[in-house]
Amino acid sequence: MRALIVEDNRDICANIAAYLEKHSYILDFAYDGISAMHLALTNPFDVIVLDLMLPGMDGLSFCQKLRADAKQDTPVLMLTARDTLNDKLEGFKAGADDYLVKPFALQELHARLQVLNKRSRGKTNKLLTVGDLTMNRSTLEVYRAGRRVDLNPAGMKLLQRLMEESPSVVTRDDLETLLWADDRPDGDALRSHLYKLRKAVERPFESPLIHTVHRIGYRIAEDPQ
């Protein structure tokens, strides 16, 4: 499952990451409402965990804009220290699907996210296919020619974006933003991740699928042209 965690407390983010990544989640993080909106509009998430009190844009405003302006129905679980009935009703009115009060048990967060994801299945196509390569966006399982392909989280993110845009080219800038947002590492780390992805997806098989478009980016397609 791919989840966007919108929370300005980095310690809470670290705790969530340590727990959910053990359950095969692919996680993206935003620490303010504006960055979160950018990520939500440019990436296909299965669920969003949303803190109510955020810099830049608060959780209620974020949720309202996501529903009314962006027309997105991605399930949203709202996290907050506010526990009155009126606070919860305001969250649901803004478009939240569930509400979890801080402090919370990570096991409960995981269980609620599983339920939200299960409810949303079937609303969108979860299976991506390019040639003999398939990815299930719900289970994060990748197969090529019937053989399972194991990827690390970075490789999974890159492959999903390339498959979603296939056969179009995805620019290097878009892929770097996908992996690191504004905190990009020095050097050409993207090239290293693409090498590992190609090794997993192509080396055991007869034909390449991932193609470099010189000075622009990458694309995935059966036809190299």
pTM of the model: 0.61
123-145 confidence digits (pLDDT tens)? 555 778 898 899 988 788 899 98
Beta bridge mates, 120: none
Q: Architecture of 127-220 per CATH?
A: Orthogonal Bundle (1.10)
Q: What is the mean pLDDT of the chain?
A: 88
Amino acid 34: pLDDT: 94
Burial class (CB in 10 A: 0-12, 13-18, 19+), 174: middle
Phi, psi of 55 (to 5 degrees): -75, 155
Query: Looking up tokens 């995981």, which residue turns up?
Result: 110
83-100 confidence digits (pLDDT tens)? 788 888 888 989 999 999
- Average of per-residue pLDDT across 69-79: 85
> Strand ranges (DSSP E) for the chain?
2-6, 26-30, 47-51, 76-80, 98-101, 127-130, 133-136, 141-144, 147-149, 170-171, 210-213, 217-220
2-120: CATH topology is: Rossmann fold (3.40.50)
- Average of per-residue pLDDT across 169-173: 92
- Average of per-residue pLDDT across 220-225: 77
Amino acid 151: pLDDT: 94
pLDDT at residue 39 is higher than 60: yes
Contact between 45 and 53 under an 8 Å Cβ cutoff? The reply is no
**How many residues can be counted in the chain?**
225
Q: How many CA atoms lie within 13 A of 172 on its CB side?
A: 14
Domain ranges of the chain: 2-120, 127-220
40-65 confidence digits (pLDDT tens)? 988 888 899 999 999 999 999 999 99
